[in-house]
């Protein structure tokens, strides 16, 4: 399978129809968590299974991974999880997707970018314009979680998010995970690899003020 796709390719300009929350979830009014760059969705599948009081939404740009994730949802008859195919930046530039923010309590960028080289900076999902759009759309008190094993990427994401005055860093040590989208601290697929190989993990939480 192709490991990476260029998010700036014209192929992703057109986005698929985003169904309403009612179509996505059995209980559309539940708190919603969004995972951007969810790959084949194992993290969200694990979360949705153990936390029926939350709805989970994943966005992934590699179509084949989204197909695999959707099949698992169907197979396991999970009603609080939905996957969208496409470039997250393009999806949220579309005004028809804004309704997602009505229920959104948190979102995560977990090990999001394969674009390490400076000349590929523009391909990174965390961009100033994207974060500005999030800051204009997210409710006060909602959270952004970032995690990566690449220090340079962490610094890039942290700089972009911290430069937006509507987001304030939260002290991770005092963060109450029990009320969050991830009370059991489920780990992602990439995170499991990173832990196994004893690599560093850089992470931060921000709240919209």
Ligand X SMILES: C[S@@+](CC[C@H](N)C(=O)[O-])C[C@H]1O[C@@H](n2cnc3c(N)ncnc32)[C@H](O)[C@@H]1O
Can you give the binding site for ligand X, defined by CB under 6 A?
7, 36-39, 59-62, 87-89, 110-114, 125, 188-191
- 113 a catalytic residue: yes
Note whether 90 and 15 are within 8 A (CB).
yes
Catalytic residue selected from 13, 94, 113, 158: 113
Nearer to ligand X, 26 or 100 (CB): 100
Nearer to ligand X, 21 or 45 (CB): 45
CB of 73 to ligand X, least distance (A): 17
The 10 Å CB-count burial string (b at 16+, else e) for 36-61 is bbbbbbbbbbbbbeebeebbbbbbbb
Nearer to ligand X, 124 or 140 (CB): 124
Note whether 31 and 103 are within 8 A (CB).
yes
Cβ contacts of 199 within 8 Å, gap of 6 or more: 149
CA 209 – CA 199 distance, rounded (Å): 33
CB of 7 to ligand X, least distance (A): 4
Q: Which residues are catalytic?
A: 113
């Amino acid at each position: 399978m192709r490991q990476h796709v260029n998010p700036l390719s014209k192929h992703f300009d057109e986005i698929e129809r985003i169904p309403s929350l009612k179509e996505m979830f059995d209980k559309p009014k539940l708190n919603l968590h969004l995972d951007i760059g969810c790959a084949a969705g194992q993290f969200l599948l694990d979360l949705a299974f153990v936390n029926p009081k939350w709805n989970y939404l994943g966005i992934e740009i590699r179509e084949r991974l989204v197909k695999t994730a959707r099949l698992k949802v169907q197979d396991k008859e999970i009603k609080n999880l939905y996957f969208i195919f496409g470039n997250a930046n393009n999806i949220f530039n579309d005004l028809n997707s804004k309704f997602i923010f009505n229920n959104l309590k948190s979102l995560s960028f977990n090990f999001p970018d394969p674009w390490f080289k400076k000349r590929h900076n523009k391909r990174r999902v965390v961009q100033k314009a994207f974060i500005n759009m999030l800051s204009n759309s997210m409710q006060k008190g909602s959270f952004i979680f970032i995690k990566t094993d690449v220090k340079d990427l962490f610094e890039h994401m942290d700089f972009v998010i911290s430069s937006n005055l509507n987001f304030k860093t939260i002290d991770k040590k005092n963060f109450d995970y029990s009320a969050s989208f991830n009370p059991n601290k489920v780990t992602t697929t990439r995170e499991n690899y990173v832990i196994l190989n004893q690599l560093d993990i850089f992470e931060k939480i921000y709240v919209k003020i």
